[in-house]
Structure 1
């Protein structure tokens, strides 16, 4: 009986010990992914646990081969390299270690399409979901002799009605329009019937839309294909029209885009399109403000405890630095500070910013930290890593960021695994600017376990530009960064500006002693001639 009781006690104790040792919580992340036929880099959202991939137009989205899948160390996934996955709809993938985390993999795919006919008005419209395409022609041209000059409805290499070139089409006249059916096939995954429409139009020239910025506007218009198409503009109330020079026009079939420069801010203008001798209806538009942001002169600073901050005490912060992280390792290690060493045109008594890269810590315990200054806020320190919220709300569209800088370059002596090839090479300073339509600031994490970095190819990016320098510049030098806009119609929600004495500082890569001075930033809103 005693032996039985002892056995029961031992079993109960074993059960208690097992239940009292919970598994550690290790959050799992996908840190990288590539597939065959991918265009650009994967867009990874740690917050949404989602990876978005852009597929080339010839890729079968139902049979996508995974090339690489990088995860948090120790984790496993329900798919892996060489897996064939179906991305025709979002795919759920489970990451496992001590707990399971469900991620979503989704794909986007753009197919370039074309449908043109002789004498058309403007460009064709495509409706992929219903497999329809339409184009307009002048009413007086009629529907008797429709001549198709280009037709591409599927991926490169697809065939239409069994023919690789232009097929012979059978048009059905329905009074105000004509239709034709075509069969589009590509490989083993596209077999679609499309309906083509040619419509008679009473409007042969006009303005589709106006993208009005501050000193610049973009007119999107249409006219008869093959005619002299363009536009004119004037201030509201003026008599004389100004014709946009041919150098400021781009054409695509019957459509055109005109760039108007040297406009006045907060001013109403009138524009009209022309096609040959014919003019379209007048359209009005109003330009925007020459917006700026606080402390672009870097004159305002204060100190909170041991942290030096780039804004006036009591004011709302716009800029921030990595000082919040560097001073956790050493109280005196503010890697970004104010300086009275300003550029020659600065006002008396003004200040600039000095960004110094260095190893921060005590003895061998610490980490390389790049001197930096950025729009946004330093949110938290994760161990010895930073979590940043980059960007401030901003809806204007500058064309340039201008400023003054100088730089002392050092040799790179600190790298992470991915940047070992840079060891013993000159460091590089950088200033970059981006505008985008994110719904919130862009979160940056430098912890390798759940890293998240800014990607200039992020589809939310509307405009981007950067300046790099890998040599010592001993006296202040002017710089200009031209913003490359990917769309003239999308309106920004956030502005990001980042300055760093070590370009790859986010990856703890750079040279001790690399130092960058920056002063008096400004925006420009016009284009040169």
Structure 2
């Protein structure tokens, strides 16, 4: 693809005021306007013959000189910067010549280039005269390409110097006294040959992996406006081992030469009665539409307007969309008017109107004027935080008669909560809605060990949560506006349906180590785990139980080994056993790193519990007691997993209960939810665990919080006490928002 940089040189003529210059040719009578609009973005084509980033970093149009001569070649205008070129230049009808230079003449550069071009044209009163000036590159261009054999034999220990002249003095090139370019990879350089110089020289220097240093040099006849591609390859059969093949392209063949600047007419967009560079205010009900005019030198091929995600084809008729009217004055001009019926659909705020215009000559224009619409601003994802459960509502007020704005928010069909808006210095009013908190009680908190830290819950109907629809409104001085938004779905829990099972080898002694069932997709995935080991490898398995959803659920079943009771269990974290020769204890390490994008209200799951009397008594229970099953969830800010030691030799100091304490040695417990079953469920039921919060202000960084979910057939199983008749089946874990 060719790199083409465009600029615009447009002539328009008509009956106007007297000439602005006495140097212009006086022929025929009448005057016209020379209109020069400079652009360098008409094509995004990349320069294939040089390093794209380097080539694109240099804009020749930043160094532009335009000269206009009369019929006698007398200079009548000179502009040394595109910023100085007037939008309109009045000229007498007659013959002229325009000469253009772009870029800089430097001795040698990888980026700086120089172009020249000119054209003669006639200004005819009453006519539009488009003028094209093709500016071709004036440099001598040296593109260096290295065959793969060079890298294979020299690694990175090679380079090529290129300079104007018959030979390269490498010492002078290194110290900068010789204008030369050093190529260490494929690239393109630009040279200005000194007067009397008709050669460019090259010098290859490399250290071969086995033959040592290899140096070879050469030169070739060269001229300006020509590109030479030097292709280097290595062959042990060639003298000097380095072969340089030269390919030449003449700039005069525009189909072969890729670097050209073309001055040609481009479309224009103007505001009707205003400057589109200045954001325009629009007050629905008071502003009687807003109009933009499109003009092209050649017939229009495409004119599109895009606002947000709505695109309108402005060549699609007089009314291409509701609230959009188009007047075609001719095939090269149209005026589009936007009214309330179109604009109010986008809500209030600063709106970008993206116009894309094409003509039949390949000219294009992309313009993005800004329109400031009074009204309630649509809620975007950046306006809310689903962990802090807050949202900021905004409205843009442009009418000085609107003295205040009152905002309202509610969950769909819920109760409205209202806040008076605060004015900002840019015309906006804002109001932030946050959840209300109250002290909470947890009926499932254990009776022993109190008093416990205070817990909190959010007041129903306050704040915003994931996976919900909300309605919001604003009263702008008596004018009501309303809208709605839906928050994202929130977070998911891995293998929530307990459908994925594999096996892994648990670390342990010769008694406890071995391959066991694993509630994850493969052995390298560690999210869910259980206390399964070589002695009790069926504490948690994937099974099909009547009434479960899907194919499998997690089946938790107690076991005994050598008279030691082990509770059926499932939890998030890791598990390993003591590695001594005959160790019979294990470490349940609770918690997995989890990225919360939204604060949940509760954890919900599908559960089937069978609760019976204790069969194996030890610790706090006797055979007269019921062996309670338990499920809890915990959100923590831990630096490490908390390890519980249990088995034939357990450690009571490692036991923990998130309903009793707000922190452990590993860090804070942010919130928890818990349910203890002292009697069996009636088959499968849905369990919802409301989360009680110890800390209602802490916010997680990505992946900084840990998630603990624990399910056990025996709440006191860490003491190796419980009932072998208990059962617990769980599946379908999900957050409630």
Output the TM-score relative to the length of structure 1. Answer: 0.45
Structure label with greater radius of gyration: 2
Q: Relative contact order, CA 8 A, sep 6+: which one is greater?
A: 1
